[in-house]
Amino acid sequence: MNVDYTLLAAQVRAFAESEPNWLPLLANTSALLYEVLPDLNWAGFYLNDRKNPQELILGPFQGKTACIRIAYGKGVCGTAAQSDTLQLVPNVHEFPGHIACDSASNSEIVIPLHAEGKVIGVLDIDSPLLERFDGRDAAGLLLVANALEETGDFKERI
């Protein structure tokens, strides 16, 4: 897909320059990604639940209502958070333990987010298309994640 991820990352940095607080920053980033990237049915964030550190809790997103809690190690999001590795899933139905929040999802990409060297949550993007995401999307979304990590104020989430 011909998406200018460098421009997207620059837009995220511009959001943070006007307001670095994590909540509006992640809310506007999910809206931007959902608007600009073609063929998505969900784009948003799961963040560490500070009362229960081995659990992710639903954060800002665009798309249909979604699962609220995901344990570390469970599903694509929990696997990305626990292993601190990007998950590029061409067919979610072949991913052991995939959590189907929206039955329209067929492929998914999940990128861990960090603050002070620790995983604080994940960026999760879903598509109704099989094999929607490739290495260019992974590299581009890492630029977006880096922009968030470098410019956002995540102190409350650590």
Residues in contact with ligand SME by CB under 6 A are 42, 66-67, 70, 75-78, 98-99, 101, 105, 108, 124, 126
Cβ 16 vs Cβ 145: under 8 Å: no
- How many C-beta atoms surround the C-beta of residue 86 within 10 A? 17
Nearer to ligand SME by Cβ, of 16 and 101: the residue is 101
Least Cβ distance, residue 13 to ligand SME (angstroms) = 25
Least Cβ distance, residue 101 to ligand SME (angstroms) = 4
Nearer to ligand SME by Cβ, of 124 and 137: the residue is 124
For 77, the token pair is: 């999001």
Nearest CA among 122, 103, 102, 104 for reference residue 112: 122
**Sheet containing 42-49: which strands, arranged edge to edge?**
69-71, 52-63, 42-49, 118-127, 107-115, 87-89
Least Cβ distance, residue 129 to ligand SME (angstroms) = 14
Least Cβ distance, residue 124 to ligand SME (angstroms) = 5
| Chain residue whose CB lies nearest ligand SME | 75
Nearer to ligand SME by Cβ, of 8 and 70: the residue is 70
The pair phi, psi for residue 59, each rounded to 5°, is -115, -160
Nearer to ligand SME by Cβ, of 55 and 108: the residue is 108
Nearer to ligand SME by Cβ, of 98 and 157: the residue is 98
| DSSP 8-state secondary structure symbol assigned to residue 153 | B
Least Cβ distance, residue 135 to ligand SME (angstroms) = 21
SS3 content of the chain, % helix, strand, coil (to 5): 40, 30, 30
